[in-house]
């Protein structure tokens, strides 16, 4: 297998864009991936000018169509090994489908698409073409999320009874979109964001965190999508009561009007033997509460199997994975890097015609993306019927 760095092409990312920057740092984290090209803006002239201004040399294109079409004429070692899609939600489906059809794996921002039909079409294309496809649910990339998943899914907390999974922000507590704030303008526009504002933007992260850590799925839900800021077209507060497929109950909630909360994503899983708590604003540790025992706080890099709670056989790959000793903090960028590192591994296997996983255990896959949109569409229907209980569609 070649060890040349993988070439990544950006779709979106010019002129004051946000999430491209954590991604591009994460892409360069290990020296085994690099950004080489970009279609950075919808206007071709601006796209090319933005590429000229990029902090290191990249090949600029006027559009993602041009970038994708240009690949077939490039020497093999200069072609894109994957594209990263960091555009507003309504510009995910088209570049993703076109890249797949051109034989280029895709790492796409969440929410996957703005309609369930588009998500289903992507699932079908990925399955038919058998290609790697990742969805950027950032918080799965924390080592502590991996560790939480191990603890809950191996039954150390007993049977899961209750989950509170949340993502609470306060930045849209006033009509920020009226000030021209780039990120607020499209997030509050149904044509660009999709049918749910807060739910699509960050409720999908809360859902994904619940599914990843517990391995459980929502089967029924009762949703309240609320809009507190007058004149806003989409929900800015999202509260969903859920039934999970083991019969447990859960709250999946998100808010963008809760002043004081920044990126307050967290999860609490209550089982018959104990409770796990984790918050992404303090991502280096998880707390375990067992009845009538002192609380246990596990720090990344300082975990001892066989300690009276953890068994001796915690998976070796999970134990081997932390790279810096505990107390040298990992955070947001490290989480993104872990996702790209795992996606890279799958892309390299796919290129070598080996079996690759892309199974949702290391990063969200296209089926996870579909589930996020199915959840949003079911929430919209339930909320329109004043919170009536609705069934989630069967997994695709
Ligand atoms: N995973 C996370 O934690 C996370 C965090 C923030 C945003 N996001 C997601 O990332 C995406 C982008 O969000 P953002 O906040 O960075 O938005 P942004 O407005 O900051 O950036 C969007 C970029 O896309 C470009 N763009 C728009 N249409 C384009 C087109 N047709 N061709 C090329 N470029 C185009 C814009 O010019 C801009 O550079 C959204 O889907 C959002 O939900 C994810």
What are φ and ψ of residue 114, in 5° steps? -100, -10
Residues 274 and 379 in one domain: yes
Asked, for residue 392, whether it belongs to a domain, the answer is no
Asked, for residue 112, whether it belongs to a domain, the answer is yes
Residues 135 and 148 in one domain: no
Residues 204 and 117 in one domain: no
- Which residues form the domain of 41? 6-139+336-364
Q: Which residues of the chain have pLDDT under 70?
A: 1
Of 167, 227, 171, which is closest to residue 197 (Cα–Cα)? 227
What is the distance in A from the centroid of ligand 1 to the CA of 367? 21
Tell me: the pLDDT tens digits for 85-107? 999 999 999 999 999 999 999 99
β-sheet with 249-255: strand ranges across: 296-299, 285-290, 274-279, 264-271, 160-168, 249-255, 237-244, 218-226, 390-391
pLDDT number for residue 377: 98
Cα angle 117-194-126, degrees, rounded to a multiple of 5: 35
Residues 223 and 105 in one domain: no
Domain count, the chain: 2
Asked, for residue 80, whether it belongs to a domain, the answer is yes
Q: Which atom of ligand 1 is nearest to the CA of 46?
A: 37
Asked, for residue 396, whether it belongs to a domain, the answer is no
Tell me: the pLDDT tens digits for 223-233? 999 999 999 99
Residues 118 and 54 in one domain: yes
Residues 238 and 344 in one domain: no
What is the distance in A from the centroid of ligand 1 to the CA of 38? 13
The closest residue, in CA terms, to atom 19 on ligand 1 is 183
| 3-class state of residue 269 by DSSP | strand
Residues 21 and 126 in one domain: yes
Asked, for residue 390, whether it belongs to a domain, the answer is no
Asked, for residue 393, whether it belongs to a domain, the answer is no
pLDDT number for residue 367: 98
Locate tokens 């000030």: which residue?
179
Cβ atoms of 250 and 267 within 8 Å: the answer is: no
CATH of the domain at 77: 3.40.50.720
* d(C-alpha 16, C-alpha 310), whole Å: 45
pLDDT number for residue 241: 99
* d(C-alpha 64, C-alpha 93), whole Å: 12
Residues 6+ apart with CB under 8 A from 311: 154, 156, 305
Pocket of ligand 1 (CB under 6 A): 11-15, 17-19, 39-42, 64, 86-89, 91, 109-110, 136, 138, 182-183, 186, 201
Asked, for residue 395, whether it belongs to a domain, the answer is no
pLDDT number for residue 286: 98
pLDDT number for residue 138: 98
pLDDT number for residue 323: 82
Residues 222 and 345 in one domain: no
The closest residue, in CA terms, to atom 31 on ligand 1 is 42
CATH of the domain at 273: 3.30.360.10
pLDDT number for residue 322: 85
Residues 297 and 356 in one domain: no
Mutate to test the pocket of ligand 1, among 18, 176, 205 (most ligand atoms within 8 A of CB): 18
What is the distance in A from the centroid of ligand 1 to the CA of 249? 33
Residues 91 and 52 in one domain: yes
Q: Give me 239's structure tokens.
A: 């509260």
Asked, for residue 314, whether it belongs to a domain, the answer is yes
pLDDT number for residue 1: 54
Residues 167 and 266 in one domain: yes
Residues 234 and 249 in one domain: yes
């Amino acid at each position: 297998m070649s060890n040349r760095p993988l070439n990544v092409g950006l779709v979106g990312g010019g002129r004051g864009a946000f999430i491209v920057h954590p991604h591009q740092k994460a892409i360069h984290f290990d020296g085994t991936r690099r950004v080489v090209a970009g279609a950075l803006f919808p206007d071709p002239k601006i796209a090319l000018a933005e590429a000229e201004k990029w902090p290191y040399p990249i090949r600029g294109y006027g559009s993602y169509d041009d970038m994708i079409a240009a690949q077939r004429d490039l020497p093999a070692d200069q072609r894109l090994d994957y594209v990263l899609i960091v555009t507003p939600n309504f510009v995910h489906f088209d570049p993703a489908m076109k890249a797949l059809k051109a034989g280029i794996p895709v790492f796409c921002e969440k929410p996957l698409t703005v309609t369930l039909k588009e998500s289903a079409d992507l699932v079908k294309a990925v399955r038919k073409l058998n290609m790697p496809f990742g969805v950027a649910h950032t918080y799965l990339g924390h080592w502590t999320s991996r560790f939480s998943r191990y603890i809950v899914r191996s039954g150390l907390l007993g049977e899961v009874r209750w989950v509170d999974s949340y993502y609470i922000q306060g930045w849209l507590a006033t009509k920020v979109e009226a000030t021209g704030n780039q990120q607020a303008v499209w997030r509050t526009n149904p044509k660009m964001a999709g049918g749910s504002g807060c739910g699509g933007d960050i409720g999908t992260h809360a859902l994904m965190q619940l599914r990843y850590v517990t391995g459980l799925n929502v089967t029924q839900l009762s949703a309240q999508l609320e809009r507190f800021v007058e004149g806003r077209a989409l929900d800015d507060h999202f509260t969903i009561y859920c039934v999970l497929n083991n019969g447990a109950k859960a709250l999946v909630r998100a808010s963008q009007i809760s002043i004081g909360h920044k990126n307050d994503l967290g999860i609490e899983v209550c089982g018959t033997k104990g409770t796990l708590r984790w918050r992404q604003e303090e991502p280096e540790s998880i707390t375990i509460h067992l009845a009538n025992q002192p609380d246990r706080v596990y720090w990344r890099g300082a975990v001892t199997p066989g300690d009276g709670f953890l068994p001796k056989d915690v998976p070796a790959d999970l134990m081997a994975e932390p790279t810096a000793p505990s107390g040298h903090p990992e955070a947001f960028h490290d989480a993104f890097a872990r996702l790209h590192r795992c996606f890279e591994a799958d892309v390299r296997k796919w290129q070598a015609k080996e079996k690759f996983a892309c199974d949702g255990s290391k990063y969200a896959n296209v089926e996870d993306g579909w589930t996020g949109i199915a959840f949003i569409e079911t929430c919209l229907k339930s909320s329109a019927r004043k919170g009536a209980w609705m069934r989630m569609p069967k997994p695709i």
